[in-house]
Amino acid sequence: MSKCTEIRIAGFGGQGVILAGYVLGKAATIYENKYATLTQSYGPESRGSACSAQIILSDSEIFYPALIQPDILVVMSQEAEAKFSNQVKKEGLILYDSCLVTPSVNAARLAGIPATDLAGSLGKKIVANMIILGFLARQTNAVSLDALKQAVISIVAKQHLELNMKALETGYSYLPSKPVEVET
């Protein structure tokens, strides 16, 4: 039987949510020989409006590209948390940017990371999305850190590569105060 993992990354325009979804999908398909779909949703404004990336990862072909009920929700804004947190599977995992999000659900599987502050300490808050991806790789087995790095190398401009690599490593190295048990 094939293993399928549904992931939604959500936040607001300008946080790199769609790019994070693209990197995640490419890491899985090109560098880990999995199958993936990516659909995206965003408001008409280029910055500040709600947006989300829906990714399905599988070890076999995917015949329906839309999320049914996410296994993993990554939220980078309070609006996204309010909109999507009740859609996660009961045994699902919510990863959140603790600088911008206060979880409203009392889920047993929550893990926060101060992604925006950590990105600011690296010099640019825009890499909070890469910090979140590194954190996702550490907290789940959806993709490996190496696959994410390879995907970033193939996508990001050379002048931004070092910063993005540091961001992935920072997210991967971060240990939340409450450990999370994950089987995805």
Q: Are strands 72-75 and 4-12 parallel, antiparallel or unpaired?
A: parallel
Tokens 């920072």 sit at which residue?
170
CATH architecture of 4-173: 3-Layer(aba) Sandwich (3.40)
Would you list the domain boundaries of the chain? Answer: 4-173
pLDDT on residue 44: 60
What is the percentage of the chain residues whose pLDDT exceeds 70?
90
Q: Tell me the pLDDT tens digit for each residue of 111-141.
A: 999 999 999 999 999 999 999 999 999 999 8
The contacts of residue 119 (CB under 8 Å, 6+ apart) are: 125, 126, 127, 128, 130, 131, 167
Whole-prediction pTM: 0.91
Return the half-sphere exposure (C-beta side, CA atoms, 13 A cut-off) of residue 62.
21
Higher pLDDT, 44 or 160: 160
Alpha-carbon distances, residue 180 vs 31, 173, 176, 177 (angstroms): 26, 14, 8, 9
